[in-house]
Amino acid sequence: MNTSLRSTLNGLTVGLMLALALPTAAGSLKPVGEARLKVLFWPVYHSRLYSENGAYQRGQRPLRLEIEYLRDITAVQLVERTGQEWQSQNLTHENQQQWLVLLGTLWPDISKGDRLALELDADNRSRFYFNGEPLGEIADPDFGQQFLDIWLSPNTTRPELRSALIGQAGQGD
């Protein structure tokens, strides 16, 4: 394992301990929008975005994206899809491959009805929750926005979903 990856994984371990000790900000956040992703006729997930004032503006914090899955999906599939979405949007970062490795160690396999959430705090730390319980943290301040851009960037592969999440349109795809 290279030194950079080992350092990143060690940072995740510290992040896991910190996340277990820190409360979620979700209770103080207001809904911005929600959307359901369907592929052809099959529902994949229902997503909700929350902010402090109930509106979305890029870069604002705290922010929470919550996804309730409507089908089973493995952690490997989630990580692969994350990488594919970054690639589709031409989003690159020198730490991107390390982030994908970290997500692979952090995320569990998902069953229908499970909820995975990301919260970004004022210091741009990214905390993940699974069914309301803390999973861990990625402290890299660049990670959170790049992850959120999968859904919230104007260049997203699902513009209808983005519009619904940021409160500008119907319920997504």
What is the H or E stretch that residue 52 is in? Answer: none
Q: Does the structure show a pLDDT above 50 at 21? A: no
What are the backbone dihedrals phi and psi of residue 38, each rounded to the nearest 5 degrees, phi first?
A: -125, 140
CB 157 within 8 A of CB 172: no
CB 22 within 8 A of CB 136: no
Residue 170: predicted pLDDT: 52
The length of the chain, given as a count of residues: 173
Residue 164: predicted pLDDT: 97
Q: Is 164 exposed, middle or buried (0-12, 13-18, 19+ CB in 10 A)?
A: buried
Q: Does the structure show a pLDDT above 60 at 22? A: no
Helix boundaries (H) for the chain: 3-21, 75-88, 96-106, 143-152, 159-165
Considering only residues 69 and 13, tell me which one the structure prediction assigns the higher pLDDT. 69
- pLDDT tens digit string along 43-75? 999 999 999 999 999 999 999 999 999 999 999
DSSP characters over 26-73? GGG-EEEEEEEEEETTEEEEEEEEEESSS---TT-SSEEEEEEESS-B
Q: Which amino acid is at 107?
A: W
Residue 1 DSSP SS3:
coil
Q: Which of 79, 137, 65 is nearest to 109 (CA)?
A: 79
- pLDDT tens digit string along 78-88? 999 999 999 99
Across the range 14-21, mean pLDDT stands at: 39
Task: Supply the pTM of this predicted model.
Answer: 0.82
- pLDDT tens digit string along 110-152? 999 999 999 999 999 999 999 999 999 999 999 999 999 999 9
